[in-house]
Amino acid sequence: MEPILILNKVSFKYKASWNLKSVDLRTYEGEILGVLGPNGSGKSTLLKVMDGVLQPQQGEVILRNRPLTSLRRTDVAREIAMVAQENFFRFSFSALEVVLMGRFPRLKRLQFEGEKDMEIALNALKATHSLHLWSRSIHEISGGEKQRVLLARTLAQEPKMILLDEPTSFLDLRHKRDIFRLISSLSGERKLGVVLVSHDMDLVAQYAHRIVMIKDGLILHEGSPEDVLTAENIEAVYECPVFVDTNPATGKPRVNLSP
Ligand code: ADP
Ligand code: MG
């Protein structure tokens, strides 16, 4: 299968020391790639490099055979949509306005959103169970509601790949499950490529097709959930004792903290 995005020996640093070190990675249509790693390991940095927000000092990022650096932001945005970890809105936009912003890369110059864009935005709100929030200010909804609205914005963008940076960190159990199921159906039905940073290891084990585990900017492990989520790997990367058994409902590895 043709990759969507290829990272070739990508290294990035904010200041003196490297925060990503010679990362080789590919993403594919219809695949959910889980990204795990402790706080500060470089997960958000990796996603920003994949989205072209940050440009690596070494190596290259290739989107559909073209270097990311040669593409305009709107060209990238038609292929890749991201929900960043921090999201700040200067103005008190409504949830619907925020989702309509996802249509921007799809519009022609100086064109306003039309009926079709509105329909796509409303469908995206529906898909993330946030239609009832449409008129609410993005400043006045809960963290979990905001995460769902931001996911709706990426859907409205109609990209080939979505990059999600801890999209369920503020969500309760039901909404976590809903979002993972939605991500899973998007990758299955729309063949969307998904890169998912999350600390919900059991959900990642259940839904990701492939997992990379990073520490100090290095990919230390890559493979199936069964291959990557071993007690040995997790203890070494997270410096925390765990035991891993099998989730009886899913047959996938289940990570438990040792007492
Ligand atoms: P993660 O998402 O895995 O928690 P990040 O990618 O946010 O980690 O950060 C990786 C490393 O880069 C950390 O050591 C962090 O302190 C550093 N870092 C992140 N953003 C910046 C920045 N804007 N300027 C300088 N250092 C940064
Ligand atoms: Mg982060």
Distance 40 CA to ligand 2 centre (A): 7
Which pTM value belongs to this model? 0.95
Helix axes 115-127, 143-156, angle to 10 degrees: 140
44 near 85, Cβ under 8 Å? yes
pLDDT at 108: 79
Where does residue 87 rank: exposed (0-12), middle (13-18), buried (19+ CB within 10 A)? middle
Q: What pLDDT is recorded for position 209? A: 98
Residue nearest atom 13 in ligand 1 by C-alpha distance: 40
Residue 229 · residue 198 · CB < 8 Å: no
Ligand 1 in reach of 174 Cβ (< 6 A): no
Sheet holding 210-215, edge to edge: 80-83, 161-165, 193-197, 32-36, 210-215, 218-223
* pLDDT tens, N- to C-terminus, the chain (259 residues): 889 999 999 999 999 999 999 999 999 999 999 999 999 999 999 999 999 999 999 999 999 999 999 999 999 999 999 999 888 899 999 999 999 999 999 887 777 788 999 999 999 999 999 999 999 999 999 988 999 999 999 999 999 999 999 999 888 998 899 889 999 999 999 899 999 999 999 999 999 999 999 999 999 999 999 999 999 999 999 999 999 999 999 999 999 999 8
Residue 42 Cβ < 6 Å to ligand 1: yes
Q: Is 15 in the pocket of ligand 1 (CB under 6 A)?
A: yes
